[in-house]
Amino acid sequence: MYDDKGGVSVSIYVTGDTHGSEKHGIHSVDGFMHRLNTDSFPEQKEMTKDDFVVICGDFGGVWNTNPIVFAESPQEKYALDWLENKPFTTLFVPGNHENYDRLTGCKNEKLLNSWVYERMNKTEKEKLKTGYPQAEWHGGKVRVIRPSVLMLERGYVFDIAGKACFAFGGAKSHDISDGILRPYEYLSDKKFSEEHKRKSGMMIRVEGVSWWKEEMPSEEEKERGLANLKKYQNEHGEVNFIFTHDAPASDKIYLGYQEMDDLNIYLQRVYDEAPHAVWFFGHMHDNKRIMGNHYMLYEQIVRIA
């Protein structure tokens, strides 16, 4: 990209949920390989690895659970390598539909010691407990999926293309109204499969397979986020951008939602601390400008710097 004076200008683009690498189900706009190919996103022809595309949660590129090894499936590896080979750097905040065990490490000892992982050896379990490598990057911490495919950890202010960006991923799943099945509560795969089959057609998810409690931030993450945000703004001034998956309570009210969860209330505190920052979130599967400088994004890709 070039600025008006002919010099090199670093760019930031933002989009919403991609839900994995390929189009699937009723969401024909999903899939980062579909959304970020050259035909759909021709702007990349002038981009370099110093330019950025930010995905506001539900990246979904790391999803499959492997009970034997901590490894990407062939399909995942192909898609993530494809993304790594794009001319830009991809950043994402985690959403609610992410495999947190693989991204940030499995901490559930009951699950690790159950029949689910009985075939996984000690070395592979240690990898699973750790997740993708964590690294310091541009003022905060990231998980390195590929050298230029990075997950922004919650609660840090990152310097991205010269802009101060606060990142705080996560959201509460709403497609679990019929409950969560926990495999480690069953004595065997057979017992679990029988129960899973019995609940076929119901709105359920399976812990460690399609749902992870880490979709909602811990108190430690929330405290760290506010502390880092306040510290940055006291020392440097207000942040420029905020990237989240869910929205602050005031935005949810504006959109007609009646119930707020702990994360919406927390993000409202973030909003109170940085009321002038331009805010981008996903999760709602729509594109809309809200209350002046807040934007809900889905399949649209917008340039913000």
Mean local confidence (pLDDT), 126-152: 98
Which of 24-38, 112-126, 129-143, 286-300 is least confident?
24-38
Q: Is the sign of the CA dihedral 136, 138, 139, 141 positive or negative? A: negative
| Rounded CA separation 256/147 (Å) | 40
Confidence at 7, pLDDT banded by 50, 70, 90? low
Confidence at 139, pLDDT banded by 50, 70, 90? very high
CA distance to 164, 214, 230, per residue, from 276 (Å): 13, 29, 14
Reply yes or no on whether the pLDDT at 10 is more than 90: yes
Residue 5: predicted pLDDT: 44
Residue 182: predicted pLDDT: 97
Reply yes or no on whether the pLDDT at 27 is more than 80: no
> pLDDT (tens digit, 9 = 90+) per residue, 168-212?
999 999 999 999 999 999 999 999 999 999 999 999 999 999 999
Mean local confidence (pLDDT), 101-124: 97
Number of CB atoms found within 10 A of residue 145's CB: 23
Contacts for 286-289 with beta carbons within 8 Å, 24 or more apart? 287/16, 288/255
CA distance to 94, 213, 240, per residue, from 54 (Å): 11, 24, 14
Mean local confidence (pLDDT), 31-46: 97
| Rounded CA separation 111/96 (Å) | 19
> pLDDT (tens digit, 9 = 90+) per residue, 220-247?
999 999 999 999 999 999 999 999 999 9
Residue 8: predicted pLDDT: 62
Q: Encode 14-49: b = buried (16+ Cβ within 10 Å), e = exposed.
A: bbbbbbbbeeeeeeebbbbbbbbeeeebeebeebee
CA distance to 17, 53, 105, 125, 227, per residue, from 31 (Å): 9, 14, 24, 29, 35
φ, ψ for residue 151 (rounded to 5)?
-95, 125
Show the DSSP H helices in the chain as ranges: 32-35, 74-84, 100-104, 109-112, 122-130, 189-198, 219-236, 249-254, 262-273
Q: For the chain, which domains are there? A: 12-173+219-303 (3.60.21), 175-210 (no CATH)
pTM for this model (two decimals)? 0.96
Q: Is 275 strand, coil or helix?
A: coil
Identify the H or E element spanning 244.
strand 241-244
Reply yes or no on whether the pLDDT at 22 is more than 60: yes
CA distance to 28, 48, 80, per residue, from 33 (Å): 12, 18, 9
